[in-house]
Structures are given as structure tokens and as C-alpha cells.
Homo-oligomer: A and B are copies of this chain.
Amino acid sequence: MKIANLPGDGIGPEIIEQATRVLNALDEKFEMESAPVGGAGYEAHGHPLPEGTLKLAKEADAVLFGAVGDWKYDKLERALRPEQAILGLRKNLNLFANLRPAILYPELAGASTLKPEVVSGLDILIIRELTGDIYFGQPRGVRECPDGPFKGEREGFDTMRYAETEIRRIAHVAFQAARKRGKRLTSVDKANVLETFQFWKDIVTDVHKEYPDVQLDHMYVDNAAMQLVRAPKKFDVIVTGNMFGDILSDAAAMLTGSIGMLPSASLDANHKGLYEPSHGSAPDIAGKGIANPLATILSAAMMLRYSLNKAEQADRIENAVKKVLAQGLRTPDIYEEGTTKVGTKEMGDAVVKALA
């Protein structure tokens, strides 16, 4: 089994290092190969997603991704900016299903900005479609406004779109995930305004016929944003499009107050996947040895479960993480009085030790 390691920028290399150590501490042999991506790809080969990196990612059974981005690339033209690497990987590898759990570990309840009774025990799964929607729809650009009151002046424009197949396949992923959990699925749309999402709603409703054991409800995206703040524990699984999913999954992650703990998986139709922490590259703390590696370590666990068919090893990692939290070890982002502050490497050490 071959894993492509794409550490990226900022704290990416540090957290990937710890995740690889944890993987290597399992009683399994993985072939691992690294390649530069994001700003690092641009520095090495003039492109955020160099050809060799894409080739490696395509060949591998799974991709372990750190994080990309740094202020210093802000002035580059859009096509060369680090985040284009993520979009390119998603599109080229057909990673249409993004799974983002928002879980609040009991030990970290205090880290949330929400009241403990509102979030304690939070365990929701956001499933975001990742290769369609307004992210990739054509045409897009800046043009002369073709009609209406602003005819003739410049306008920026993009196309939102979802084909039936795209909606069906993400709906299947969502219903199947719900079936394995609390059997409740909320499909988030904006069917009262957008044609794309009236169509989305109709197709999801149709797919529901194949999952009569799962309870489906539909919610407008503005209401979903409110309900996530008001009563997040009422959700089980949420499924939505690429754009709304971008916003809601980040909001949901922040509810936990410990985004440094949250993994994510982006899957294709054949269980191949890209795994990355939900947080960013945090250039401000890069190289200081204080980044939290747990989201990346937990992403490696998701990789074992979803792409490498090693659920037991995944469980082992997840249990080891719970153990170090119970031991009171905390990186600065989740530190509270009465716990023990540790750095990136010590946290990795502790997880490796807890695996034993």
C-alpha cells in the first residue's frame, strides 16, 4: 500500500512528520513517498501542484496532506496560489465526497466558545460535495455585462451547477453514512432561491426512497447556519453542496473550539482518498514546534479506515489520541490550566507511546 505524503506549507511539514511517525509505529508496512505541494510546489517547480506531485497522488492508494498557504503568495496570480493545489487534487482525483466530523472531545469542552451544555458530546458529520457547484462551473470570469441596468460595464460572474449524477452519488454517500450512525440526514439547500438547489432537493428526495430507514429533512442554508449555533447537537449527518459545505463545515468545526483536533477525508468513488486536517497552514506558528499534530494523526486514522481497509489500526490510533488527552497532554491551542503543555513532537511521542 502506497501513501503519498504532501506536507505543503506552514506547519504542514511538522504535523505530517508526526502523523508518519504514528503510521510507522503500527505493525503494518506502508510505502510512503513525499512531494512538494502548495507554496512549496511553487518554490520547487513553479506550480502549486507540480506534475510529479499530481502523478504521485494519482498512483498512490491514499494521500496524506498537510496544509497549504502563506501570506507571501497572496500577490501571485490566482492560478499559481497555493490553494489551487487543493482544488486541482480534488478535481483530478475525483474526490467528490468530503467527510468532516465535528466532534467535541469531553476533555476539551472548555475550549469551545459555546456553553458546555450546548456542545458537550457534540458529534456531527458534515458531508460536503467537493468537485461540483460554483467552484468549477463554467463559464466564469470578468466580462462586459450583457444586459440589464448595468449593460456595458464590467461584471464578475460564475456559474453554479450540479448535474443529476453528482447529486445522486453524494446523496448515496450521505445516506450510507447516516445509516451507520444516528440514521438522520439533513440536506442543506437554498431551494427557495436557487434552481440548482431546488434540483438538488428533488434528487436527494428521490434517492431517499432507497433508504427508508434513514430520516431525511431539508433545511435552508441560512437556517442551518443558525441551527448550528443554536442547537448543534440536534444534527446527525448534514449533506450539502461545495460552497455551502465550505462555510458550514468550518462553522461546525469552530463550534468545538478545537479545530486543531479535527480530521477530514475527501473520497472518490473507489475508496481512494485525500486526508487532511481541517485547520490551515498557520504560517504564524510554523517552525516553532507548537502546532497541534492530532488533527493530522486522526486524518491518518481516517485514511486507514476508508482507503486502506485497516479499521482496527484506525481504532488503535483514535484510542491512543483519547488516551493522551486523558493524560492531560495539550498543545498550546487547546491548553487549559491544570493540563500539561507540550509541543508538536512531544505530542507525537505520546501518541506513539499510547499505541503500545
Contact = CB atoms under 8 A, between A and B. Distances in A.
A221 B192 contact: no
Given A225-B248, A246-B222, A255-B229, A154 B160 contact: no
Nearest to A253: B226
Interface residues of A, number: 64
A192 to B, nearest CB: 5
Contacts of A195: 140-142, 156-158
A165 interface: yes
A310 interface: no
Contacts of A197: 156
Given A114-B115, A229-B113, A157 B161 contact: yes
A113 B257 CA distance: 14
B198 A225 contact: no
A24 interface: no
Contacts of A135: 193
A190 to B, nearest CB: 8
A114 B230 CA distance: 9
Contacts of A145: 161, 163
B226 A250 contact: yes
A222 B247 contact: yes
A221 B246 contact: yes
A43 B27 CA distance: 70
Given A195-B141, A199-B142, A250-B222, A161 B156 contact: yes
A192 B81 contact: yes
Given A134-B134, A150-B165, 10 more contacts: A81-B192, A83-B192, A114-B229, A140-B196, A142-B195, A221-B247, A222-B250, A223-B250, A228-B251, A229-B229
Interface of A: 78, 81, 83, 87, 113-115, 118, 134-135, 137-138, 140-142, 145, 147, 150, 153-166, 190, 192-200, 221-223, 225-226, 228-231, 243-244, 246-251, 253-255, 257, 259
28 contacts: A78-B192, A81-B192, A83-B193, A113-B114, A113-B118, A114-B115, A135-B193, A137-B157, A145-B161, A145-B163, A150-B165, A150-B166, A156-B161, A156-B194, A156-B197, A156-B198, A156-B199, A157-B196, A158-B160, A222-B247, A222-B249, A225-B248, A226-B253, A226-B259, A229-B229, A229-B251, A230-B257, A244-B247
